[in-house]
Amino acid sequence: MTISLSENHIRLLRLRSQWLLPQPLSAARNIAQVVQSLCGIQAQEEPSAALAIRARSTGLVTADVAQTRINERSIVRTWGPRGTLHLLTTQDIGWLLPFLGPVFIAGDWRRRAELGLDEDTCERAIHILRDILASQGPLTRAELVEQLAMQGIHLEGQARPHLLGRAALEGVICFGPNRGVEPTYVLLNDWLSQKDRGQPLSEDAAFVELTRRYLRAYAPATPEDQAVWSGLSLIKTRAAWQSITDELLEVYIAGSPVWLLKSQVEWLDEPFPTAPIVRLLPRYDTYLLGYQNRDLVVPREFAKRINAGGGIVHPTLLVDGRVVGTWKSQLQKNHLIVRVEPFASLSAEIHIGLEAEIRDIGRFLEVDASLQVM
């Protein structure tokens, strides 16, 4: 039997996968559960990563994210899918880093060479990094650059993040505690115990595990979507999907196939919510980064207001899984002003949901918050 779904139904299922449906307080989850359920949260900006967790949880506050990362250490900030900064669970580091690291290190060699980071220089610099952090860590990027210069490794401009990214993908370093607003770096082996990191997997097993994780967080989707989200080979991704065909359910949207896990099949019978699902998503939210394109989510005429180029994905107002505006915030003393710029006028029902989101952001950040609709 062919199952055809509307665009609205696909968006609802993706909201379900992303934990963006309304949740009762009784469904409260800890931060590591949220991060693991999404197979990582984009974390170029720590405040945005925290707000992404806020949108997918109940009862947490932003200080809980720092507590989980710095004191509990069940999550870690390092380089992950697509070779970009993520929050990942400590439990997943043991298989994700050996799996992803070599791919992104090899894929970035040309850019490193352009920046003066040939293989010998990288190996020598990372060896020095180990020694510096073992004796002096945690250190900021500026402090590491200064220490490397004293050892004859002079880094300018983009050579700095590219070297640190490589060291992280090799499993040498990760982010440690912040010093004020400045992040620091530490040795991964000093920061996280080996026993907490889980075991490495073979490449085939890792591709299969990643595919199951991806579908739990992003279904309905396609292998092409997963390849874009992960930054990995489409051929190998398709092979992983083929190896778990008996676990997949094929459905159609506008005549094109997409897939869910069979374990998600009961979602198809869930009723549509009676009230609009309103969410304020931060910059770089995973909901907008998980697919080959954003056509189902972002109206084409407004696409450049979400991503005008340069890799920046702006904060969005989401209603029933579709972007209907953008937003930004400004903290004045202990008061947060959230300015929302919708693409069109908002209904009274959407306003009610939006006001609830503003209150929850204020609760999460532990400040008073108010809404301005532009």
What token pair was written down for 102? Answer: 């070599």
Helix axes 223-230, 203-218, angle to 10 degrees: 110
Q: Does the pLDDT at position 26 exceed 60?
A: no
Specify whether the CB–CB gap between 13 and 267 falls below 8 A.
yes
Residues in Cβ contact with 348 at an 8 Å cutoff, skipping those fewer than 6 apart: none
Nearest partner of 152 among 186, 124, 123, judged by Cα: 124
What SS3 state is found at 29? coil
pLDDT, greater one: 334 or 92: 92
pLDDT single digits (tens) 271-290: 999 999 999 999 999 999 99
Q: CA-CA distance, 135 to 14, in Å (whole number)?
A: 46
Q: Does the pLDDT at position 160 exceed 60?
A: yes
Residues in Cβ contact with 191 at an 8 Å cutoff, skipping those fewer than 6 apart: 73, 76, 174, 176
Specify whether the CB–CB gap between 303 and 294 falls below 8 A.
yes
Q: CA-CA distance, 289 to 234, in Å (whole number)?
A: 17
What token pair was written down for 152? Answer: 């004859």
Taking the alpha carbons at both ends of the chain, their separation in whole angstroms is: 48
Q: What does the pLDDT average to over 83-101?
A: 97
How many CA within 13 A on the CB side of residue 177? 9
pLDDT single digits (tens) 234-252: 999 999 999 999 999 999 9
Q: CA-CA distance, 298 to 314, in Å (whole number)?
A: 12
Kindly report the pTM of this predicted structure: 0.95
Q: Does the pLDDT at position 314 exceed 70?
A: yes
Alpha helical stretches, state H, the chain: 7-17, 31-37, 46-54, 62-66, 90-107, 109-114, 119-136, 141-150, 159-169, 188-191, 203-218, 223-230, 234-243, 303-306, 348-365
Angle made by CA atoms 211, 87, 205, in degrees to the nearest 5: 25
Phi, psi of 187 (to 5 degrees): -75, 130
Q: What residue type is assigned to position 23 of the chain? A: Q
User: DSSP state, 224?
Assistant: H
The domain spans of the chain are: 1-296, 297-373
Q: Does the pLDDT at position 310 exceed 80?
A: no
